[in-house]
Structure 1
Amino acid sequence: MFYHNQYSCPQPNPIRHSPDYTMLPYDVNFCFPIRALEDDTVVVTPLIPTVHAKIVFELILEYPCVMRYMSIHSFPSLSAFEAHCESARANPETCLFIILKQGTQDKILGIISFCRASPALSTIEIGSVIVFPPYQGTHVSTHAIGLMMQYALDLPSSGGLGVRRLQWQCYTINIASIKVAQRMGFREEAIIRWHRPQAIGKESCAPFRADDSLGVPGRHSAYLSVCWDDWEQGVRDRVAALLSRG
């Protein structure tokens, strides 16, 4: 035999609590320029663990339903949530944000993220959209998502990043998420079947084989997008109109 295979599964880097947790300014380590985004209703600003982690963790603990469609379970402790924040920060494709009520420093209405970002591909995804139950139905998600769409898709000359593609993905059974995206102007592109594994105990899109090598639930994902030409041909105006309604 003239070949062999010495591949071994790479070990994940240990998640550490960054020294940056106790130092300001906090390094968000994101592959695109970043800034706070705001209008008359909300402020979308990077999640800084020393300032925001405890409040967000306690809100997730109070409203565990917000984790239903996430790939992971709720966090068993504050330190586990801080480790999650550090894992996200260590990945330059991801930046976590909090959604603040305009005019406040600690009234956290929800969280949201940029993820799977790539300057080389000129693409960003909006993900991890959570609005806590007391603020659902109050246009918080419209304003937060709209601000992030404007920042991602507007040209640099207009204060944005000017990416070609802004995408959105969610569990196919998360109909509310699909409807929110479509309302904001995202167009459904595809259903990716058995796209991602889910944590043990999470809902599975369908029964999986008894001898499945992963042995955990899986999900079908809906993919939606707004591309630069969609933006120029009407979605920008659609978003501006939604934001102007208050």
Structure 2
Amino acid sequence: MPGYEQKYEPCELETAVLKLAPYTPSLHTRPFFEGVSKHPELFRWTPTARFASADGVDDWAAKVMADPCRRLFAMIDKTRVGAGPAGHSAPEGAVAGIVALIETPDQLMGEIGLLFTLPAFQRTHVTRTAVALLLRLAFDELNLRRVQWRCQAENTASVRAAERMGFQKEGVHRWNRVVPPGVPGNTPREGDPMPESMGLHVLFLAICWDDWEGGWAERTKGLLEKHV
């Protein structure tokens, strides 16, 4: 859409149990890095190489946030006040991970991505509440038509999480992504110009405005009103 521009204002989204705060390296990098550094399995299904240091997280986050169409949030579990990693105070709650809303504004489309929920917060209210908040932002405030979710088809945990929130499977895009060297994936053919970088077959799921207005908005409201 020629001439269409999206300008973001920083925003916080929250319920009684979770806050999505704009990612701030000085507040969030160290507890996030300490959370992921002990769990290399978190990178099994991501196109992101494992972070070697807190500085590596900062460099990655800076690249993410340099794109004005990406909103990167820290997920703050408000039920765990004072429960930060050793040496960290957590007056508002513990850093439970990160998530982003990535927009394609000229197509009125968004994507929920860059989702890392730390192991101590998995299978709790954290992921579902974060996704619900982003869906409400996307459809009720930004008036997007479509929000998508991408993952490898074999990542059943991610697929289930998306489907629980109303996302519908649309199909697999084969060889959709080239990942950094060292990140697992499908082996390219002999003579490939990037032989050290594997490829990913990516499953697309989506929830659209008519799904939202057809019942998922009300279901999401119920999720956001839960205290745990």
Q: Which residue of 2 aligns with 1:90?
A: 66
Report the AA paired with residue 111 of structure 1: I
Q: Does 1 or 2 have the higher relative contact order (CA < 8 Å, sep 6+)?
A: 2
- Tell me the CA shift for residue 243 of structure 1: 3.1
Give, in angstroms, the shift of residue 50 of structure 1: 1.7
Deviations 1:128-150 (A, max 9, x none): 11111111111211111111111
TM-score (norm 1): 0.80
SS at match of 1:207: coil
Question: Helix, strand or coil: the match of 2:217?
Answer: helix
Mapped partners of 2:202, 2:189: distance in 1: 19
Out of 139, 146, 163, the residue aligned to residue 144 of structure 2 is 163
1:38-72 superposed Cα distances (whole Å, 9 cap, x missing partner): 11110011111122112212211122221221112
Kindly indicate whether residue 136 of structure 2 is the aligned counterpart of residue 150 of structure 1. Answer: yes
Whole-angstrom CA distance in 1 between matches of 2:25 and 2:168: 34
- Post-superposition offset of 1:76: 1.4
Tell me if structure 2 keeps the 8 A contact 1:189–1:224.
yes
Match of 2:84 in 1: none
Q: Aligned partners of 1:170 and 1:193: how far apart in 2?
A: 12
Q: Which residue of 1 aligns with 2:189?
A: 209
Name the counterpart of 2:118: 132
1:111 aligns with 2:98: yes
Letter matched to residue 188 of structure 1: K
**Could you give the per-residue CA deviations for residues 164-219 of structure 1, whole angstroms, max 9, x where no partner exists?**
11111112221111111011001111211000012223222x43212112212110
Listed as ranges, the gaps of 5+ residues in structure 1 are: 1-29, 155-159
**Equivalent position SS for 2:107:** coil
Query: What is the SS of the residue equivalent to 2:176?
Result: strand
Unaligned runs of 5+ residues in structure 2 are 1-5, 82-90
Whether contact under 8 Å (2:18, 2:76) holds in the other structure is: yes
Q: How do residues 219-230 of structure 1 correspond to structure 2 at under 5 angstroms? A: 219-230=200-211
When residues 57 and 31 of structure 1 are mapped into structure 2, their CA distance, relative to the original with a 3 A threshold, is farther
TM-superposed deviation, 1:106: 5.2
Computed over aligned residues only, the root mean square deviation of the Cα atoms, in angstroms, reads 1.7
CA distance in 1, matches of 2:205, 2:148: 6
1:232 offset after TM fit, Å?
A: 0.5
Indicate the SS of the match to 1:120: helix
For 1:139 and 1:235, locate their aligned partners in 2 and report how far apart those are by CA, in whole Å. Answer: 18
**How do residues 1-246 of structure 1 correspond to structure 2 at under 5 angstroms?**
31-102=7-78, 104-105=91-92, 107-115=94-102, 117-154=103-140, 160-204=141-185, 206-215=186-195, 216-245=197-226, 246=228
Following the alignment from structure 2 to structure 1, what is the Cα–Cα distance between the partners of residues 212 and 138? Answer: 10
- On the 8 A contact 1:32/1:119 being kept in 2, the answer is no
Which amino acid in structure 2 is aligned with residue 207 of structure 1? T
- State the AA in 1 paired with 2:136: Q
State the distance in 2 between where 1:33 and 1:161 align: 12
Amino acid corresponding to residue 119 of structure 2 in structure 1: P
User: Computing the radius of gyration over CA atoms, which structure comes out larger, 1 or 2?
Assistant: 1
Shift of 1:242: 2.9
Distance 1:170 1:163 in 2: 21
* Matched letter for residue 64 of structure 1: P
Once the two structures are overlaid, the 10-residue window that deviates more, 192-201 or 60-69, is 60-69
Aligned residues: 210
Tell me, yes or no, if the aligned pair for 1:31 and 1:119 is still in contact at 8 Å: no
Aligned equivalents of 1:34, 1:231: Cα separation in 2: 24
Equivalent residues of 1:143, 1:243 under 8 A apart: yes
